[in-house]
Amino acid sequence: MTNINDITQKMNITVSLHEKNHIYQAIINYKDENNKRKQKWISTRIKVARGNKKKALQKAEQLRKIFEDSINPQKTEDNNEILLFRSRLYNIDINKTYDENILFIEYLKLWIDKIKNSIEITTYTSHMQMINSRIQKYFTLNPIKLLELKPIHMQNFYDNLLSDGLKSSTVIRYHAIIRKSLDYAFKHDLIINNPADKVTLPKKNIFTASFYSQKELNTLFEKSKNDPLNLVILLAAFYGLRRSEVLGLKWSAINFENKTITIKHTIVEIRLNDKKQLLGKDRTKTNSSYRTLPLTDHIIIALKNQKKKQEYYKKKFKKTYTTKYEEYICLDHNGFLIKPYYVTRHFPILLKNIGLTPIRFHDLRHSCASLLLSHNIPMKAIQEWLGHSDFSTTANIYAHLDINSKLTSVKAISSAFNL
């Protein structure tokens, strides 16, 4: 009968620490069945800092024991024993629905269900949509157990997405979900390391924003006067608002006396249980997106006209006019909220009828930034106007449009050379 001590002695399992990316890594050294020396790197998830090395050494020894346990033929016969061992070791609550034969796609669905109460519902529905579509399709045709998942399996999946014509940025989003799910599995000791860390991702697409000139914007404003999206377009272009911010505007956000507008509520559309639903949130995308901006006389007139229209339609349609959304600004003739999907679908139709170059609705936000730059508004002020949380976001998107700073630079260079 094989003795576990004989196996571990032959493998000569030892562990050491290594610092990588400011995190202590446990390096498990062992010999395989062919007596070849091998290494397995596992993150201790402990930061390199004063007083942390002792903790990292203790964690490394625990990881060594887990690895030793994983090659024990007596214990691998009963996976529950391994899980109980790990739960005692880390004092964690192992998901009872987990077993060693679980497929990766099955684990993904268990994981998203496990974390749904700890993430935004918009994030949850987005993850669910991606899992239930391409991820499920691929890993159903290519069934792989969670414990057998390797970097090459994910690499093949990402190559498949790219061959289907998906952009690199979309592939990176799929990777983010997969990596996050495997990170959860690693933290709960269901896997010994995260194979997603070893995947080579495609280079992110260089984003170049489309935008309208001042002349094109004025044409759009003039020729969309009788369109249901007229006010939505005007507010989006003038303030550089996101679609969710425009549709989420309430009358309580408007202060006619102080002439201010406050961006503090959003409307998004989610798919839950195969049904589209509108979701209102009393918060913006980031803390910086919560902002108060000045009202101009032109915008005040447009808003007051909108108020009159709503009162007119309410009297005209009486009982058929819904009052459910009367606190909102951007409503249709029947008092219903203008839906995000309608904006996305109707906007290109409007542009085609007007004869303007097709752009996305979100490009009105970029048009706003472009117009501000052309009038010598500093990048920092544009960041605050648009509600970007980080200056680098504004700079990365719009730096190529900042011709004024480049003109200053070329003048400095020209004066330096006596040509």
- Eight-state DSSP code of residue 331: B
- For 224-236, how does the pLDDT look when each residue is reduced to its tens digit (9 = 90+)? 999 999 999 999 9
Q: Taking residues 42-69, report their average pLDDT.
A: 84
Q: So what's the pLDDT on residue 97?
A: 44
User: 311 with 326: CB under 8 angstroms?
Assistant: no
pLDDT at residue 96 in the model: 42
> What domains can be seen in the chain, in order of their start residue?
4-77 (no CATH), 104-198 (1.10.150.130), 214-404 (1.10.443.10)
At 288 the pLDDT is 63
Q: Provide the CB-side half-sphere exposure for 67 (13 A, CA).
A: 25
Q: Is the pLDDT of residue 166 over 90?
A: yes
More confident residue, 341 or 32: 341
Tell me, what amino acid is at 257? E
Q: Please write the tens of the pLDDT for every residue from 341-360.
A: 999 999 999 999 999 999 99
What confidence tier does 207 reach under pLDDT thresholds 50, 70, 90? Answer: low
> Rg of the chain's alpha carbons, rounded to an integer?
29
Look at 376 and 26; give whichever has higher pLDDT: 26
Taking all residues of the chain, what is their mean pLDDT, rounded to a whole number?
A: 82
pLDDT of residue 62: 84
pLDDT at site 400: 52
Rounded mean pLDDT, 106-133:
90
Rounded Cα distance between 48 and 23, Å, is 5
Give the pLDDT mean for 164-192: 91
Other CB atoms within 10 Å distance of the CB of residue 270: 18
Position 248 confidence tier, pLDDT thresholds 50, 70, 90: very high
CB-based contact 135:105 (threshold 8 Å): yes
Average pLDDT of the residues in 2-19: 62
pLDDT of residue 64: 83
